[in-house]
Amino acid sequence: MKLKTSLEGQTAVVAGGASGIGAACAKSIAANGAHVVILDKDLDRAKLIANEIKADGGQAEGIYLDATSSDEVKKTIAGILAAHKKIEILVNSVGVTGSTGVPSHELSLDDYRKIFEINFYSALSLQSAVMPHMLKSGYGRIMHIASIAGKEGNPNMGPYSSTKAALIGHVKSSAKEVASKGVTINTIAPAVVRSPINDNTSPQVLEYMISRIPMGRIGEPHEVGDLVAFVVSPAASFTTGFVFDLSGGRATY
């Protein structure tokens, strides 16, 4: 039987899709037939990724969004629904690493609050904004990009590890709330992936993370994008509340 991975006719929203993992997800989803709306604070790059998708024969557009503003998230999602009448897919790739190379006890509460605003509360706003429509239509696929740091914890990356652990907990709990409504909510836990998010990560932290990967290399963005495109397709219809490993063997549970 042929896998039901086609996304033809669907509308996908990729938040944080202007670079790195988000851009790779946008490209893979578009390559499978969906119209992709790329949301990002970097509008120029969002439009650049959209143009690259269109140059490859796909459908995409870039829209500005500061995902830390819940009001702006609501307005932006409402605008997409007004234009496209539907949203079947939400991929949330909004995130920053925050402080690296610093022990948690040397950080302030504000250091943590800032990263939670970006990495966790924006995820809540995005999911809450699309959920009423998905529940009404009886179909939806939500994918949050977490991290292996949220499962195992990376030393000297306290704020980042904590936000990703919180995101995993949110996925597991909220997925059960809508499991019988046609909406799935999943997450992936990548190990270190070649992405601009790691530009400010200290060399010592990067060395530690790579040393934990049995494959002995970092992941490539397209490897994340291809897995996400499958999980948000109709083929992955009986999986929800799950954390997909994408760690080169670092986590095998």
Sheet strands side by side (includes 140-145):
59-64, 35-40, 11-15, 89-92, 140-145, 183-190, 243-246
Q: How many CB atoms lie within 10 A of CB 202?
A: 16
Q: Helix, strand or coil for residue 141?
A: strand
CA-to-CA distance for 100 and 200, rounded, in angstroms?
8
Helices 20-31, 221-231: inter-axial angle, 10-degree rounding: 50
CA-to-CA distance for 178 and 188, rounded, in angstroms?
19
For 214-246, give one letter per residue: b (16+ CB within 10 A) or e.
Answer: eeeebbebbbbbbbbbebbbeebeeebbbbbbb
Active site residues: 160
DSSP state for residue 10 in the 8-state scheme:
-
Beta strands in the chain (DSSP E): 11-15, 35-40, 59-64, 89-92, 140-145, 183-190, 243-246
Could you write out the DSSP letters of every residue in 27-40?
HHHHHTT-EEEEEE
Q: What are phi and psi of 36, to 5 degrees?
A: -105, 130
Beta bridge partners of 245: 189
